[in-house]
Structure 1
Amino acid sequence: MTRVFVYEYLSGGGLVDGDPAASTTLMPLGQAMRDAMARDLLRARLGPVTVATCAAAGPVPAGTQAVCAAPGEAPEVFVARQAARHDLVWAVAPESDGLLAAMQAAVGRSRWLGCDAAAIALASSKGATLARLRAHGIATPHDLADEATRWVVKPDDGAGAVATQVWTSRGAAAADARRRENVGAAAWLEPWVDGEPMSLSLLARAGHAELLSVNRQRIAVDGDGLLRYDGVDLDCVSPNDPRRATLATLAGRVAAAIPGLAGFAGVDFVWHPARGPVAIEVNPRTTCAFVGLSERLGRCLAADIVAARRETLHA
């Protein structure tokens, strides 16, 4: 019997108190991930499943046990307390402000179901991630700098589209980056890549990756240049699509470049009309693309993720 604790940062109580924007816009995404993970674990029949929740989140899936943080309890303290009561912890948190890294450190390697500390640390920096990928021959936005007509400024440790601004002038983008840095925020500036925004969902282990799905990201830029994430369309590139082989190769190269990727991970990229895939970032955790993917693929990804972890530990 394996006891598993599922923790998703927002639905587990993180950032919601006093932040109505997070509660109304991001909570549904977090809760959907939480519930998909929990239901998949129930299908895997590994053992009891405990799910973190809070007053602002909806009920946990039937068949699981709900648990809440104590009043005033820091997220990493709550997760560490629950980790001691469970055999495995499957956690989702933003990379920003070191949150995901803190969760991994609080849980420890023996119980953590996901990427290792080195992979999380690297992927928590946009600049460091792209430098690593570029060193392994993977195209990144800076390879297209000479043809750029727009530029993007975002937090170097950001997650999703939060605080991501698109500029039509490199000078304006640089000024934005300086303003952020002047108030102590680490900013990242890169050329905008024209093309189709997409993502890869991977099952990673020991420097290798299985490409689970290629997804289409619904991304929009509003009138003020703010980037907005409107969701994801799962598995939109069929096995017969000629792009599929190229993207399977990309998945393998990313895993080789960041060998600490483990379990479910994501790669955001843009399919450029002339250059093909251009990597934007790596997500060292479960992403929104997990929701509904087991059903789409006709398999239990939670069981596969746990099995892959056990194989790696005993290799």
Structure 2
Amino acid sequence: MKILLAEYAVGIGLEGTLLKEGGAMLRTLVDSFSRLGHEVTYLSAGPLLLRGRAVSSSADNFQEVLERESSHADAGLVIGPDELLAELSAVVEENTTNLGCSSRSARLCADKLECTRTLQSHSVSVPRILECGVATACVIKPRFGCASEGVRVASSSDTEEGFIATEYIEGEHLSVSMICGTGSLPLSVNKQHIEIDRNRPGSPVTYKGNIVPYRTGHEKELFDVAARTAKVLGCNGYIGVDIVYGKGPYVVDVNPRPTTAVYGLARTLRTEIGELLLKNISGELPDAVVTEGEFSFTKDDFEDIV
């Protein structure tokens, strides 16, 4: 099959952390589909040498190149910032089989306010959304955003336009990687390396890396809440559900696309990610997968990828 993979940071030539994380995810997926013998095309604004065929793109023409190349592919997957992912996914949907979330689902997940309200209305445990002016420990985050950018802890729910405040949940920072569609296939629970300074109001919440998989006695409970979350939001393909486990699991974010955890998962999963994504199209996912060992990484490990 002809597979198109488009990661936004790599495709427009961003610099810094987002480029490194994007490059790690893209390389992981390109390698997986290539090992399966598929013809892989990927978009790149720079000299990123991966297996498959690189197509030149830039910030000026990323969507145009995505439209052109997806029309020649049998299936495609785009990874992008939450606020752009719905629009980019719609381009893939119009031209080929979309291996990821629909544009509708991506749009709902991207809106942290509406996503939280939707999950709450379906009895999925989420942090409470706080009205402005409440003096309590809380998390301030952009209504639209990704990669913990702009997220901070605070002692008051006073927020500026474009941000929301939710109650602060004390607990273990985890995520669930899964593939979903007509059904759901949990892949792993991951421990997130999150840096938070509770003693300094306004301190940013910083993502540092992952342990994949993370062995925990709460695995079934975490898998169940992630599956309910995916069903409520209409997710498809590889997604990541961020959870803080306090008195129970609280869903704090939903990533309707591959996340950096896939970098570690590919090193512990005994099945190719690409194979599972393609089986998901026809509803032929296995009942379970096997992981061996664990892989711990930080964002510094992405230095040599791009």
Q: Which residues in structure 2 correspond to 1:121-136 (within 5 Å)? A: 121-136=107-122
268, 274, 277: which one aligns with 1:302: 274
User: Residue 311 of structure 1: CA displacement?
Assistant: 3.0
Matched, 1:287 2:259: yes
User: Residue 294 of structure 1: CA displacement?
Assistant: 2.9
1:239-275 per-residue CA deviation (whole Å, 9 max, x = no partner) reads xx431111121122112212x2111001001010xx2
User: Residue 234 of structure 1: CA displacement?
Assistant: 0.9
Q: Structure 2 length normalisation: TM-score?
A: 0.85
Aligned counterparts of 1:155 and 1:78: Cα–Cα separation in 2: 29
Q: Is the 8 A contact 1:269 1:278 kept in 2?
A: yes
User: Residue 60 of structure 1: CA displacement?
Assistant: 2.6
Matched, 1:105 2:96: no
Q: Which amino acid aligns with 2:33?
A: L
Q: Which amino acid aligns with 1:83?
A: S
User: Residue 229 of structure 1: CA displacement?
Assistant: 1.1
Aligned counterparts of 1:54 and 1:79: Cα–Cα separation in 2: 13
125, 142, 167: which one aligns with 1:191: 167
Aligned counterparts of 1:279 and 1:72: Cα–Cα separation in 2: 33
Q: Is the 8 A contact 2:44 2:55 kept in 1?
A: yes
What is the number of residues matched between the two proteins?
278
Q: Which amino acid aligns with 2:153?
A: V
Q: 2:147 maps to what in 1?
A: 160
Unpaired runs of 5+ residues, structure 2, are 285-306
Aligned counterparts of 1:164 and 1:72: Cα–Cα separation in 2: 25
User: Residue 66 of structure 1: CA displacement?
Assistant: 1.1
Aligned counterparts of 1:287 and 1:93: Cα–Cα separation in 2: 10
Matched, 1:54 2:45: yes
Q: Which residues in structure 2 correspond to 1:5-20 (within 5 Å)? A: 5-13=4-12, 16=14
Aligned counterparts of 2:130 and 2:86: Cα–Cα separation in 1: 31
210, 215, 235: which one aligns with 1:232: 210
Q: Which amino acid aligns with 1:136?
A: H
1:257–1:72 Cα change, 3 Å? closer
Identity of aligned residues (%): 26
The structure that is helix-richer by fraction is 1
User: Residue 107 of structure 1: CA displacement?
Assistant: 1.7
1:94-151 per-residue CA deviation (whole Å, 9 max, x = no partner) reads 112xx10111111225422101122111101111111111122111111999xx9421
Aligned counterparts of 1:143 and 1:100: Cα–Cα separation in 2: 24
Unpaired runs of 5+ residues, structure 1, are 17-22
Q: Structure 1 length normalisation: TM-score?
A: 0.82
Q: 1:94 maps to what in 2?
A: 81
SS at match of 2:73: coil
Q: Is the 8 A contact 2:174 2:245 kept in 1?
A: yes
Q: 1:151 maps to what in 2?
A: 138
